[in-house]
Amino acid sequence: MASMDLRAEHRQTQTLSPRLQHAVRLLQMSSLDFAAMVRDKMGQNPFLEPEEGEDGEPSAAPESETAGEDASPPVGEADSLSMEQGDDRDMWHADGPGSTRRAEDGEISAMEMMAVETTLNMHLHEQLNVLPLEPRDRALAQAIVESLDDDGYLRTPLEEVAQVLQLDPPPTPTELNIALKRVQSLDPAGIGARSVAECLQLQLSKIDCEATRLLAERIVSRHLQTLAAKDVNGLAHQLGETPARVEAVCDRIRRLDPRPGWRFGSSHIAYVVPDVLVKRVRGQWTVQLNPAIVPRVRFNHVYAELFQRHRSAQNTEMAGHLQDARWTLRNVEQRFSTILDVAQAIVRRQRHFLEYGPMAMKPLVLREIADEVGIHESTVSRVTNNKYMATPIGVFELKYFFSRAMISANGSACSATAIRGLIKDIIEAERPDRPMSDAEITRQLAQQGLVVARRTVTKYRQMLRIESVERRRRHS
């Protein structure tokens, strides 16, 4: 019979406090997210305030990483700008969105000059509204449009779409299929498909040549996986056609749009604002933080002294704000100090890359930087995530400078980035009428003392977005 007894065991475990876990997440944030967090803190915490510039005004906020985000107006212009915006809003509500009313000075209202973004649903509903449909048929088609995803596909079963409508009597499968066909007939072609094959089949009517259209239909409906694998010879054998004809039809299929819904939606473009700037000054590489990404925040000593003077046991909330303000400022200082230290260590290791390009990139792992800076390896990983460095030869993510070592035939180490650069140079130097296959590139690398597998060459070529030898030969 098993005995029941109590035992005390001593065990050491390492755990992170909630505040330390939050600090780790802040370190991994991009500059845009971190700046937004600091702005939220300034709005909620009375002990934090914007840092003033030399003229006594609050310093400008850092530039946004996202195109189309409005900047705050100068203090002196805020009142006039708000009055103008109020007038535009009044004109908009009074005359409606389609009005062409002008402002008092004869100029077109700013609201009339704003571009209206057309979504996929709006585009499809506009087409349905001009069709002579019965209310029941229109409701079914509109329900299918509302069920499409961003790609323009219908991922929801038709039965579930019908259940949302709750029509009486319930729609039959025939009615649902008719409504789906009606949506699939709208522009752009391929909308409402339930698979990639169906999406492509809906667009085959664009092919004018009947023979090409019929062969394309056979490929899409029966040999889509072979098409995706770009196995032209295998397709030609299965279809009983010549490789040249199959390749021509495959090229026509690839010009179709597998995601027609992507033509609509947001047109904003995300831009990268570098965290550190690298310059060469008097023959030495210098690294400095980009002032645009450092939040302009400071501690409000006046409020802190008043609170300390009249502090009482009931002011627990203000005490929490005071502690949080000091912790936030410590995080701001520590974050950018760590980023700068890591960037400087990277530049010291990869200065030959800055001078001679990717061919001079050295193998580098996170542990080397961690040992030099005196932080944990995981901290280096978080610091280099979503952080960018502006150099005279381009803007690179900090993770770009890390790559594992590949040993050459003479025993020296070479980075994967350098090998990718060498592959790119080999392909750029090839004869246009005789492009080199991945196997030939592998042999040429071996002649230079770099033993690289053919599949690795293929992977690096694809990472460089260079086409295969067959496509390069055909284009030449």
Q: At what angle do helices 18-28 and 316-349 cross, to 10 degrees?
A: 40
Contacts for 376 with CB less than 8 Å, ≥ 6 apart:
370
> Cα separation of 338 and 24, whole Å?
12
Tens-digit pLDDT string for the chain (476 aa): 555 666 666 666 555 556 666 677 777 788 888 888 888 888 888 888 887 654 444 444 443 333 333 333 333 333 333 333 344 334 333 444 444 444 445 555 554 555 566 788 889 999 999 999 898 999 899 889 988 888 889 888 888 888 777 788 888 989 999 999 999 999 888 999 998 889 998 998 888 888 888 998 888 888 888 888 778 888 888 888 888 888 888 888 888 888 888 888 655 556 788 999 999 998 899 999 999 888 888 888 888 888 888 777 677 788 888 888 898 888 888 889 999 999 999 999 999 889 888 878 888 889 999 999 998 888 888 888 889 999 998 999 998 898 777 666 566 667 778 888 888 888 988 888 888 888 889 888 888 878 888 888 888 888 888 888 877 776 66
> Cα separation of 283 and 75, whole Å?
43
Extract the tokens encoding 113: 């000059």
- Which of 3.40.50.10320, 2.40.100.10, 3.30.950.10, 1.10.10.1330 would CATH assign to domain 122-196? 1.10.10.1330
Other C-beta atoms within 10 Å of 362: how many? 18
Domain 405-475 classification at class level: mainly alpha
pLDDT at residue 57, rounded to an integer: 46
Please identify which residue in the block is written with the tokens 């305030």: 49
Computed on alpha carbons and rounded to an integer, the radius of gyration of the chain in Å comes to 31
Identity at 8, one-letter amino acid code: A
Cα–Cα nearest to 277, from 364, 402, 400, 387: 387
